[in-house]
Chains A and B, each alone.
Chain A
């Protein structure tokens, strides 16, 4: 089983040291790149999407050479890619594997659903407190209204 997965992952070449973000929903790969600001990254960056996945049908993957993420940095992607896993590679070996977690505060990524909120009317970065992680309820720091799972839009 492990061999099979390895073969699939190799459709995107292995990296020696760095991070692999696996199990990204395929249409969210470029949003993940944007949130992590990887378009500015100077090192090797390998991207695959619509790859076969036993778990998900299709998935996206990003491999970033010589980059190691802090928890709050990587958890920023949990809203767009809740299924994602972070794999830390050292010397071509997996040294750590963990699922991303929705953080307690969300900044800049999500649009407030309230059209009358100041963040939708002036150039102000959004900020939310996560009220509920399972049902995903975000309370706007400014207008105090709750943006729920079914009306989340990403900036």
Chain B
């Protein structure tokens, strides 16, 4: 993985995914290791993102690296009309690796082609967010002890949620049974379903969340946004159907864990937070270990 950019989840093989998860496990045991003291990490956030940016900053800082960059394009030369190519070429001179988030889809792929240092994609528009997928895989593996043969439910906005698309694609490597719970308007797009079909795996589609809870090992919740509906009445009809409440979990399997990419608004009520099945805040912490693993592996200080 040394010097390899991570733009799409499929840029890394299944074996490389597993290696990252193993390395992340080692960082979880010992998070503070100053193995990147001689390195500079550039965090280029062309659009604001609190969690992902802080998570990367925390990962780099815990490994002793220096972090440079910007958290919003209004404070950078982009404001003056500089092209992405010029920004990336220039910043390549100042650092050993670039972490970038950009509002345009495909920006990270393009950056990886012009940069002289590796790129980690921290989200390019609605396209890819591979580090989120790896931390999701890490969380699933950690809570279930394995990745193979699990029943995973995806709930909410399956049409636009990029974290859902990438995780579905990644889980196709592990003989997953997919349970897809969404309003009809927000079903998983066929461009993603085709990966499940090509892997000859089973998927079941539901419109009712209650039906699925007793059957699954992982419940991956996402937020349904009002602006995704062309007719506000359609939104009103479904908005309460995909809210998870603690009382709905009585029939759940003992090993069930609830994941959510965050931020949460109201799709998981706060009474779920104290249930041991709630895992979303730990999931966010796992993101730091996974990003430590990626920085260390891509910079070549671990193998």
Does chain B have a CB within 8 A of A129?
no
In contact, B105 and A116 (Cβ under 8 angstroms): yes
Does chain A have a CB within 8 A of B107?
yes
Does chain B have a CB within 8 A of A75?
no
> How distant is the Cα of A141 from the Cα of B105 in the complex, in angstroms?
11
Q: Which residue of A lies closest to B106 (CB)?
A: A142
In whole Å, how far is B193's beta carbon from the nearest beta carbon of chain A? 13
In contact, B191 and A119 (Cβ under 8 angstroms): no
> How distant is the Cα of A142 from the Cα of B106 in the complex, in angstroms?
4
Known contacts A124-B110, A143-B125; A116/B104 CB under 8 A? yes
In B117-139, the 8 Å CB interface with A consists of 124-128
Q: Which residue of B lies closest to A142 (CB)?
A: B106
User: Using a Cβ cutoff of 8 Å, how many contacts connect chains A and B?
Assistant: 51
> How distant is the Cα of A101 from the Cα of B195 in the complex, in angstroms?
27
Q: Which residue of B lies closest to A124 (CB)?
A: B110
In contact, A142 and B105 (Cβ under 8 angstroms): yes
In contact, A140 and B191 (Cβ under 8 angstroms): no
Query: How many residues on A have C-beta within 8 angstroms of the other chain's C-beta atoms?
Result: 17
In whole Å, how far is B185's beta carbon from the nearest beta carbon of chain A? 20
> How distant is the Cα of A142 from the Cα of B111 in the complex, in angstroms?
10
In whole Å, how far is A127's beta carbon from the nearest beta carbon of chain B? 10
Does chain B have a CB within 8 A of A118?
yes
In whole Å, how far is B41's beta carbon from the nearest beta carbon of chain A? 23
> How distant is the Cα of A112 from the Cα of B8 in the complex, in angstroms?
19
Known contacts A142-B110, A144-B127, A146-B191; A117/B83 CB under 8 A? no
Q: Which residues of B contact A118 (CB under 8 A)?
A: 84, 102, 104-107, 109-110, 124
Q: Which residue of B lies closest to A145 (CB)?
A: B105
Does chain A have a CB within 8 A of B85?
yes
In contact, B104 and A144 (Cβ under 8 angstroms): no
> How distant is the Cα of A146 from the Cα of B191 in the complex, in angstroms?
8
Q: Which residues of B contact A49 (CB under 8 A)?
A: none
Q: Which residues of B contact A141 (CB under 8 A)?
A: 106, 109
In contact, A116 and B110 (Cβ under 8 angstroms): no
Q: Which residue of B lies closest to A120 (CB)?
A: B104
> How distant is the Cα of A121 from the Cα of B103 in the complex, in angstroms?
11
In whole Å, how far is A96's beta carbon from the nearest beta carbon of chain B? 37
> How distant is the Cα of A141 from the Cα of B112 in the complex, in angstroms?
12
Q: Which residue of A lies closest to B107 (CB)?
A: A118
In contact, A142 and B109 (Cβ under 8 angstroms): yes
Contact sample, A vs B, 22 pairs, CB 8 Å cutoff: A116-B104, A116-B126, A117-B104, A118-B102, A118-B104, A118-B106, A118-B107, A118-B109, A119-B106, A122-B83, A122-B104, A124-B85, A140-B106, A142-B105, A142-B106, A143-B124, A143-B125, A144-B8, A144-B105, A144-B106, A144-B127, A146-B191
